[in-house]
Amino acid sequence: MKTKEKFRNDILTSLQRQLKLDNLFSLPRPKKVVVNIGAGRLRDPKDHEEVIKVLTLITGQKPVARGAKKAIASFKTRQGQIVGFKVTLHGQRMWDFLERLSAIVLPRVRDFRGLSSSAVDAGGNLTIGFREHIVFPEVSNEDVRHIFGLEVTIVLEAKDREEAMAWYRAVGFPLVGEPLKIKRN
């Protein structure tokens, strides 16, 4: 069953009871998924083409090149130089990506024991970093010249962090541990 239909049919009512909310529209829901790849050390245009090809395979959407905002001599970058690529997913592509991410990709990560709950920020957004892009099943290992990391950010519309954590657990993201509580004066 697709994640969106599973969410609508099975998870909404149980999540509504768990959060004690009267209105279904007040439940947390995903707004977008952002996939980033940093390509600052890849200088060759052929390497950039490889990154674009891989990111297109993974997300089903062509990425946007991101330029450096300012020149930094120690990183050997100039303003406007391509240092990364980004894809923003909405709608059905977002739901398909979330389903593949939770069911296929996360179990393929080496030594995976769950996502740290500290990866969820105060607004309820979950950021997951992958060291190797080859954990995605769309990428064949024979064609890989460079192994690079990527970052996936799931942006939720949620009131607070606790609602977001309940949504991630209900959908099936394996969150473990509670982050340290920081007392502020």
Q: Check which CATH number belongs to the domain holding 11 and give it.
A: 3.30.1440.10
Q: What is the pLDDT of residues 140-167, one digit of tens each?
A: 665 667 777 789 999 998 888 888 888 8
Which pLDDT does position 185 carry in this prediction? 45
Is 10 among the domain residues?
yes
Residue 181 covered by a domain = no
Residue where the block lists tokens 């894809």: 87
Instruction: For residue 183, tell me if it sits in a domain.
Output: no
Instruction: Supply 47's token pair.
Output: 């390497």
Tell me the C-alpha distance between 89 and 86, whole Å.
Answer: 10
pLDDT tier, 3 (very low <50, low <70, confident <90, very high otherwise): low
Domain of 123 in residue numbering reads as 3-174
Q: How many domains does the chain have?
A: 1
The answer to pTM > 0.85 is no
